[in-house]
């Protein structure tokens, strides 16, 4: 027996199959969307918990601080100015902000900071080098060779074995400010000459004017008047000879004047 199927029945069947397939695809699409949403929810939940753990756990509090490169600054000053005197999470700690705060300290020339996880911070310091003491208005200004004021002291303590400079008006400079006077620059040339030609023999330089300076020998009987550091370099042999003669023969002396060309003048007391 042969069953005959007309075209209408075939079309109805195909439409029914297509509808079923469409429903299955929609069900799969909805299921996949649900899986994606669930995946992101789980990832977000795990990420939040990890984030919360990293930023709140005591395991990541900075408990070890290594400071290197300091000869004058105390570690406590660096720690306080970096706001590290209380526990700080290493992820919260702002390196750039801390470096900017430390850079305001006149003693600090350069600074680097490095985080070493989970709880270690390294601080590298390059300090300014103290050059001289400037005495002005009953205060001692500790200054670098470049003229940067490092500290202002009420009492003198020359543990640093630096020259004392008098007669220079520092105009109430504050720590961190720079002395740019021409006289101070010339004083540095004189100090350079003394350090290389007469080390440890003079301790004080008085500024008389831009072209006149008075040097004080450790032997308080001896004072040397000159115009510049260049003059001291060019005529050092004359001064050396005079100093040897004075120390050997114990000549009474008021001062040695080097301001004359090709000779120096030994002035005796009246």
Domains of the chain in sequence order: 59-127 (3.10.20.310), 130-267 (3.40.50)
pLDDT at 119 over 50: yes
- Give me the chain's average pLDDT, please: 83
Structure tokens at 169: 């008006």
User: What pLDDT does 28 receive?
Assistant: 57
Give Rg (Cα) of the chain. Answer: 40
Check whether the bond before 189 is cis (ω within 30° of 0).
no
User: What pLDDT does 33 receive?
Assistant: 65
Q: 203: pLDDT confidence band, cut at 50, 70 and 90?
A: very high
User: What pLDDT does 73 receive?
Assistant: 92
Following CA atoms 260, 262, 268, 270 in sequence, which dihedral angle do they give, to the nearest 10 degrees? -30
Mean pLDDT over residues 15-40, rounded? 57
The sheet that has 265-267: what strands, in order across it? 149-153, 139-144, 130-136, 163-166, 202-209, 212-217, 223-226, 255-257, 265-267
pLDDT at 148 over 90: yes
CA distance 179 to 195: 22
pTM: 0.76
Q: 244: pLDDT confidence band, cut at 50, 70 and 90?
A: confident
């Amino acid at each position: 027996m042969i069953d005959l199927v007309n075209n209408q029945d075939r079309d109805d069947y195909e439409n029914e199959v297509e509808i079923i397939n469409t429903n299955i695809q929609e069900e799969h699409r909805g299921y996949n969307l649900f899986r994606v949403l669930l995946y992101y929810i789980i990832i977000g939940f795990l990420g939040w918990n990890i984030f919360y753990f990293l930023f709140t756990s005591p395991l990541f509090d900075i408990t070890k601080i290594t400071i290197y490169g300091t000869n004058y600054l105390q570690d406590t000053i660096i720690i306080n100015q970096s706001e590290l005197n209380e526990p700080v999470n290493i992820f919260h700690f702002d390196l750039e902000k801390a470096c900017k705060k430390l850079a305001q300290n006149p003693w600090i020339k350069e600074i680097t900071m490095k985080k070493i996880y989970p709880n270690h911070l390294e601080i590298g310091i390059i300090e300014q080098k103290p050059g001289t003491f400037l005495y002005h208005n009953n205060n001692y200004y500790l200054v670098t060779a470049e003229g940067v004021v490092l500290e202002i002291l009420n009492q003198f303590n020359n543990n640093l074995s630096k020259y004392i400079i008098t007669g220079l008006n520092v105009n109430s400079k504050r720590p961190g400010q720079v002395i740019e006077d021409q006289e101070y620059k010339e004083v540095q040339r004189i100090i350079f000459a003394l350090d290389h030609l007469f080390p440890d023999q003079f301790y004080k330089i008085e500024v008389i004017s831009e072209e006149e300076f008075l040097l004080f020998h450790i032997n308080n009987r001896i004072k040397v008047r000159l115009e510049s550091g260049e003059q001291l370099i060019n005529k050092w042999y004359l001064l050396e000879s005079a100093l040897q003669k004075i120390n050997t023969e114990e000549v009474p002396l008021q001062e040695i004047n080097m301001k004359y060309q090709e000779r120096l003048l030994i002035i005796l007391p009246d």
